[in-house]
């Protein structure tokens, strides 16, 4: 079987993964990112969940879910140029409280989100 390069991945992030210091710690570099808005979703708070290395109690972290409320949107960043391995690192960081799904962001681009 011939080996080829995997297509670079783009992810929409809306919480701690928007912080360059977090990306640097996880990936060893800070990928290119641009501001973006995800329409048709809203933020909610995730509490009392397990995260890598810590048990979060009485702390609040953002999650997002689809919303039927008119003009619902979540601001975040589109991070581009990620390898599949780097996306898997970000998945591990997010933990089991989040599920990665394809969504349409902005100009019809289909991206991954963790919700």
Residues annotated as catalytic (active site), given as ranges: 94
* Spatial distance between the Cα atoms of 91 and 24, rounded to a whole number of angstroms: 15
Contact between 61 and 13 under an 8 Å Cβ cutoff? The reply is no
- For residue 78, give both structure tokens: 């589109």
Cα torsion 13, 18, 21, 27 to 10°: value is: 20
Q: Alpha carbon 59 to chain centroid distance?
A: 19
């Amino acid at each position: 079987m011939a080996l080829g390069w995997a297509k670079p991945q783009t992810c929409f992030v809306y919480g701690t993964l928007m912080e360059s210091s977090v990306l640097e710690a996880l990936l060893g570099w800070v990928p290119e990112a641009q501001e973006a808005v995800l329409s048709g979703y809203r933020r909610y708070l995730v509490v009392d969940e397990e995260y890598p290395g810590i048990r979060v109690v009485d702390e609040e972290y953002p999650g997002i879910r689809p919303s039927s409320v008119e003009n619902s949107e979540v601001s975040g960043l589109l991070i581009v140029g990620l390898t599949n391995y780097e996306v898997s690192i970000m998945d591990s960081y997010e933990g089991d409280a989040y599920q990665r799904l394809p969504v349409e962001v902005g100009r019809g681009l289909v991206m991954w989100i963790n919700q």
